[in-house]
């Protein structure tokens, strides 16, 4: 459904993405993980064409997304830090987005009501807490029942109850056969959801495997331990090569 071919992106001297290749198909829940600054958000923003890659192509349903707009109809995006017009109220924000999209499908307001955003309709965006902002972002992402969901740190700042609710919603989407890309530093959250794991480091894809094969390879059931195992092995390899050079 989404195919990424040889994407490169530099921010001045910093190489944010280098030769990234990947393919995601519907039914997958891909966990994008990696240390801070490894290029996860840049990759997501490139898929949304908020960031323009220096080279390489991204295809959505086999069509290149360059200069294309309509493919975003099929994507629900929940940003890491939701930025919304300060002087708008929650209710106005939602009616504006619905008006702009003018979708013929009935909007999916389950998240909106479950997070009790309807009781906060008259609250201005400027006064919202981080968690409520996050809830607004989530409700917007799910609003048009999109085929692809891109969630950037969805549970950061949410209380445990809301975070569980969101996870349940993602699971439901997974069962519906949708593609979900999700980044998070809470690996236990991802473990329950993910079918695939893509590990990024310094803008490069270290691996992109199914969760099952990762577990098999490392002999670890827990995602955190499996990742730790791979990182350690990587470290050892590096140290070995350093030792060789030293000798």
Partner 1 sequence: MLKISRYVLYDIIRNKIVIAYTAFLFIVSISLFSMEENSSKAMLSLLNIVMIVIPLVSLMFSTIHWYNSYEFIELMLTQPISRKKVILSEYAGVSGSLMTAILIGIGLPVMIYNFNDTGIAMLLIACLLSLIFTSIAFFAAVNSKDKARGIGIALMLWFYFVLIFDGLVLMILFTFSDYPLEDLTLILSSLNPVDLGRIYIMLHMDVSALMGYTGALYKDFFGGAFGMLYTLGILGFWAAVPLLLAVRSFKKKDL
Q: Which residues bind partner 1 (CB under 8 A)?
A: 11, 45, 48, 50-52, 69-73, 77, 79, 83-87, 96-97, 99-101
Short-list 44, 51, 54, 52, CA closest to 22: 44
Are the CB atoms for 30 and 1 separated by under 8 Å? no
Output 52 or 105, the one with its CB closest to partner 1: 52
How many CB atoms are located within 10 Å of the residue 102 CB? 6
| Least distance to partner 1, CB of residue 101, Å | 7
Output 47 or 223, the one with its CB closest to partner 1: 47
List the end-to-end C-alpha distance of the chain, in Å, as a whole number. Answer: 49
| Least distance to partner 1, CB of residue 82, Å | 9
Burial grade of 88 (CB within 10 A; 0-12, 13-18, 19 or more): middle
Output 67 or 221, the one with its CB closest to partner 1: 67
| Least distance to partner 1, CB of residue 228, Å | 33
**Residues 94, 189: Cα–Cα separation, whole Å:** 28
Are the CB atoms for 9 and 17 separated by under 8 Å? yes
Output 101 or 237, the one with its CB closest to partner 1: 101
How many CB atoms are located within 10 Å of the residue 185 CB? 14
**Residues 169, 68: Cα–Cα separation, whole Å:** 29
How many CB atoms are located within 10 Å of the residue 19 CB? 13
Output 100 or 161, the one with its CB closest to partner 1: 100
| Least distance to partner 1, CB of residue 117, Å | 16
Residue tagged 């493919």 (tokens): 71
Short-list 31, 22, 30, 28, CA closest to 4: 22
Short-list 225, 226, 208, CA closest to 217: 226
| Least distance to partner 1, CB of residue 127, Å | 15
Residue tagged 């994008």 (tokens): 32
| Least distance to partner 1, CB of residue 48, Å | 6
Output 43 or 227, the one with its CB closest to partner 1: 43
| Least distance to partner 1, CB of residue 213, Å | 33
Output 68 or 216, the one with its CB closest to partner 1: 68
């Amino acid at each position: 459904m989404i195919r990424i071919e040889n994407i490169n992106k530099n921010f001045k001297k910093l190489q944010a993405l280098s030769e990234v290749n990947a393919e995601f198909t519907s039914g997958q829940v891909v966990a994008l993980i990696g240390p801070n600054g490894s290029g996860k958000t840049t990759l997501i923003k490139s898929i949304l064409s908020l960031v323009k890659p220096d080279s390489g192509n991204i295809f959505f349903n086999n069509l290149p997304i360059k200069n294309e707009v309509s493919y975003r109809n099929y994507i629900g995006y929940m940003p890491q830090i939701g930025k919304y017009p300060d002087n708008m109220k929650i209710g106005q924000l939602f009616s504006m987005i619905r008006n702009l999209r003018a979708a013929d499908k009935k909007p999916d307001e389950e998240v909106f009501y479950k997070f009790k955003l309807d009781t906060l309709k008259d609250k201005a965006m400027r006064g919202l807490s981080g968690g409520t902002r996050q809830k607004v972002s989530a409700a917007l992402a799910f609003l048009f029942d999109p085929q692809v969901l891109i969630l950037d740190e969805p549970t950061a700042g949410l209380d445990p109850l809301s975070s569980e609710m969101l996870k349940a919603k993602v699971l439901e989407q997974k069962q519906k056969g949708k593609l979900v890309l999700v980044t998070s530093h809470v690996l236990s959250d991802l473990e329950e959801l993910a079918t695939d794991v893509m590990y990024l480091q310094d803008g490069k894809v270290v691996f992109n495997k199914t969760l099952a094969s990762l577990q098999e390879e490392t002999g670890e059931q827990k995602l955190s331990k499996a990742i730790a195992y791979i990182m350690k092995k990587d470290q050892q390899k590096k140290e070995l090569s350093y030792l060789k050079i030293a000798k």
